[in-house]
A = this chain, B = another copy of it.
Amino acid sequence: MTVKQLSLPELADACAASGVTGVGLWREPVQAYGVRAAAKLVRDAGLTVTTLCRGGFLTAISPAERAEAIADNRRAVDEAAALGTDTLVLVSGGLPAGSKDLPGARERIADALAELGPYAEEHGVRLAIEPLHPMYAADRCVVSTLTQALDLAERFPAHQVGVAVDTYHVWWDDQAPAQIARAGAGDRIHTFQLADWTTPLPEGVLNGRGQLGDGAIDLRAWQAHVEAAGYTGPIEVELFNDGLWARDGREVLTETTERFRAHTSP
């Protein structure tokens, strides 16, 4: 998503040229390219698919909408398995129209995970609940903190449900380091993502994630937290940024790898 202006073949080429050996993919471009074709493309390019984004949106109240959401998440699990990644990231969903009931929405997520967790396990895929920044609580994700994400995840086996730790979403939270330790102790850190926090936020607050090093987040400190918790998996960079998307994708990928080296520990 950081370089969504690149097609999948361009992305595979650019990763090879930049020495990037793993990539997190999003469902829409994969579906547009064809899941099997995308899987072959990245496999032939020697790329590991680190995660698939995203399942989720599990907070609907109406039975028909819930059934559709579950079915779509099963398809997302299938796609993850076909791509050879073991992790499907979940954006859990916001409040249904007219509802003000955050606890109820969170319980409906748990109900859905009870169905999806075993299905994911059968396909060798782990679900990663991503707590999103509290500014998305109404319209995108009622799971706002790692504490809440782990409270949900721990109702299920760790090989079914864990969490995604994204610096953009948790950096402000003084309880997050202890929750990362909790997640690590339970083997539930299913991915670790970097983005920096820059201001002012753009309208809609979706596409203003900062290039690494441009913002307020001590990225190296968060890397140290997840590593101290035992995390040894890939570190993903996920920048939604209109400014980066307007530039040449290969140039952005090169810049991002340089920033990654400058702002993380080896």
Residues of A bordering B, CB below 8 Å: 95, 100-103, 133-135, 137-139, 144-145, 147-148, 171-175, 197, 199-205, 215-218, 221
Checking B100, B133, B175, B204 against A218 with a beta-carbon cut-off of 8 angstroms, the contacting residue is B100
A135–B101 contact, CB under 8 A?
Answer: no
Question: Could you list 25 examples of A-B contacts with CB < 8 Å?
Answer: A100-B221, A102-B172, A102-B174, A103-B174, A133-B134, A134-B134, A134-B173, A135-B135, A137-B171, A137-B172, A137-B197, A137-B216, A138-B199, A138-B215, A139-B199, A139-B200, A144-B172, A145-B173, A147-B175, A200-B203, A200-B204, A200-B205, A201-B201, A201-B204, A202-B203
When distances are taken between beta carbons in the complex, the residues of chain B under 8 Å from A218 are 100-101
For A200, list chain B residues within 8 Å (CB): 139, 203-205
A-B pairs with the 7 shortest C-beta distances? A137-B172, A138-B216, A100-B218, A134-B172, A135-B135, A203-B203, A200-B204
Query: How far apart are the CA atoms of A240 and B95 in the complex, in Å?
Result: 23
The residues of B that contact A217 with a CB separation of less than 8 Å are: 100
Beyond the given A135-B135, A135-B201, A138-B172, please list 16 additional residue pairs across the A-B interface where CB-CB is below 8 A.
A100-B221, A101-B218, A102-B174, A103-B174, A133-B134, A134-B173, A135-B205, A137-B171, A137-B216, A138-B215, A138-B216, A148-B174, A200-B204, A201-B204, A201-B205, A203-B203
> Which residues of chain B come closer than 8 Å to A139, judged between CB atoms?
199-200
Q: Which of B103, B144, B203, B205 contacts A173 (CB 8 A)?
A: B144
Q: How many angstroms from the CA of A182 to the CA of B103 in the assembled complex? A: 21
Of B134, B173, B204, the residue contacting A135 (CB under 8 A) is: B134
CB distance from A170 to the nearest CB of B (A): 9
Tell whether, in the assembled complex, residue A138 and residue B203 are in contact, meaning their CB atoms are under 8 Å apart. no
Docked Cα-Cα span, A83 to B134, in Å, equals 36
Closest to A134 in B: B172
Report how far A75 CA is from B175 CA in the complex, Å.
35
**B203 touching A201 by the CB < 8 A rule?**
yes
How many angstroms from the CA of A193 to the CA of B221 in the assembled complex? 35
> How far, in whole Å, are A182 and B134 apart by their CA atoms in the complex?
22
Which one of B95, B133, B175, B215 contacts A216 once the chains associate, using CB atoms below 8 Å? B95
Given A95-B216, A144-B172, A203-B202; A138-B197 close (CB under 8 Å): yes
Q: Which residues of B contact A102 (CB under 8 A)?
A: 172, 174
Q: Which residues of B sit under 8 angstroms from A103, Cβ to Cβ?
A: 174
Q: Are B133 and A135 in contact (CB under 8 A)?
A: yes
